[in-house]
Structure 1
Amino acid sequence: MNISTIAGAAALAAALVAGGLVAAQTAGPVKSLRGAEVTSTLPAEPVHQQQEGREARNYRQQPPIIPHSMDHYQIDKRTNQCLGCHDWTVAGERGAPTLSMTHYLDRDGNQLDTVAGTRWFCNQCHVPQANAPALVGNSFAPSNAPR
Structure 2
Amino acid sequence: MAAHQSILFLALLLITTSSLIHSFKINGKDVVEATIRGRLTCTAPGTRPLPNSPGIAGVNVVLMCNGDQPSLGQALTDATGFFTVVLKSTDGIIYDPSLCLLKVKLPLAECKVFPPTGTLYAVPALTGVVESLLTCIASYVLGPFSLGA
Q: TM-score range by the shorter chain?
A: under 0.3
TM-score (norm 1): 0.22
Query: Counting helix residues as a fraction of each chain, which structure ranks higher?
Result: 1
Higher relative contact order at CA 8 Å, sep ≥6: structure 1 or structure 2? 2
